[in-house]
Structure 1
Amino acid sequence: MVFLLKELNKVNINKPVLIVGLPGIGNVGKIAVDFIIDNLKAQKIFDIESYNFPHAVFVNEKNMVELPTIEIYYKRANNKDLLFLAGDIQPIDESSCYEFCNKILDFFEKYNGTEIITIGGIGLSEMPSDPRVYCTANDKKIIEKYKFKNLSNDIYGIVGPIIGVTGVLVGLAGKRNIPSIAFLAETYGHPNYLGIKSAREILKILDSKFNLNLNFTELNKEVTDIEKNLRKKIKQIDQFRITKADERPTSKINYIG
């Protein structure tokens, strides 16, 4: 077994959009996608299992162990099938990341998926008071489609390599002619910082483009719960972060997942 998709609930999926938010700098993507899943009450349809996940477990508030998980959720909203890829971790090394992304693309093509959105953070040396959001893609048309106020695609020279699923999935999707875009929000580049304000800026874009009618009045409460759980898990699994590079903030803007 490399990566196994275990079906939990059978639903009719047709031409979906996939939105991806896994842990990374500021956990921007995870915070955003977890909030959407909770707010829309999306249905969990697949668990992803692998021997290529970190060899560790979390200890929860009930003093019981939990395996790290990556899951796929489904929600039909405004006559559009939406899939959400969420989880506690990312694949632990380069080859696992490529294998994982190709497995997700195989799954996505099975349902005639139309486009992919990944979400991540741009690590800064200081906490941004008004986080800016950038985008990059594998197709110019999808950038035009997602034009939004305060969203810039003038990203060349702003970020370094986009490491992890956030970047690799977009790149590999391009080889299969699947239009894909990455939304990257500025956040503080400390490993234990949670970019809640940054996630909010990306949520505004997704809410507008998909007419999700997200209840932003609940955001602070729900994010507080997410933050509580995330902080515990970050401490437990910090040694398995996706990059081995020094992630301490510097004066240079950098992007890692």
Structure 2
Amino acid sequence: MSGKDDYYNRSKQQGYRARSAYKLKQLDEEADLLASGDTVVDLGAAPGGWLQVAAEEVGEGGTVVGVDLQRIEALDEADVETIRGDMTEERTRHYLREAVGERGADVVASDMAPNMTGEYSLDHARSVHLARQALDTADELLATGGDFVVKVFQGEDLDAFRDDVAASFQYVRTVSPPASRDASSEVYLVAKGYTTSPVAKGDRVEVTIEEEGDEGDGIAYVDGYTLFVDADVGETLAVEVTDVKPRFGFAKPVDGAEPSA
């Protein structure tokens, strides 16, 4: 029996419902996704292996919510809620929003996969479609600074989807956990640091410095988003955004620049 098949035996021995539990464990080890007290949403959660791993990591102070079209048998772990439904239906999304709460989710994870047809291009396209549904859910539920992990099959549409994910996060990396089967074309996109910033790196905007920061730099606001600028309080000037973080960004003065955003 190959090393990859050992994950099946290990899952039985350690009480996990599926060998895929080790994929989430390895993704967490690689990217530090799960922390004590987190709120985690698991899309495509049946039979519940990822729910078990997430519940272990977030602990009693955390919340784990799983969604799937299939029924998920009740888990022994506390603070795990399951919703049976279709994420394309508003009813399901309503129940999920209620379960997550106003603070939002710290992690949205998706191990969803299409029913396989054996036609590679079709299976790839369907996997990207499901991944985009998961990204829509992340956009709806993630708190600022939250993380997103999603399974997708390799193919011609992967790069474009990755670019769309990257537009809303600090960085994105592609990970192939060792627990994935050798013959599988699946990869996981791991996106860290969800941001709803109204500006992007390279944008040029006109701002007014309204406050002085702790380090002596100026603070300006763009639609409520904080920009740190090397300028004095009261100045109105054109700046270029040099870095964007989930809760704040940095910009530099640009003489004579025309705003681009």
Task: Give the TM-score category using the shorter length.
Answer: under 0.3
TM-score (norm 2): 0.27
- Greater Rg by CA: 2
TM-score (norm 1): 0.27
Higher strand share: 2
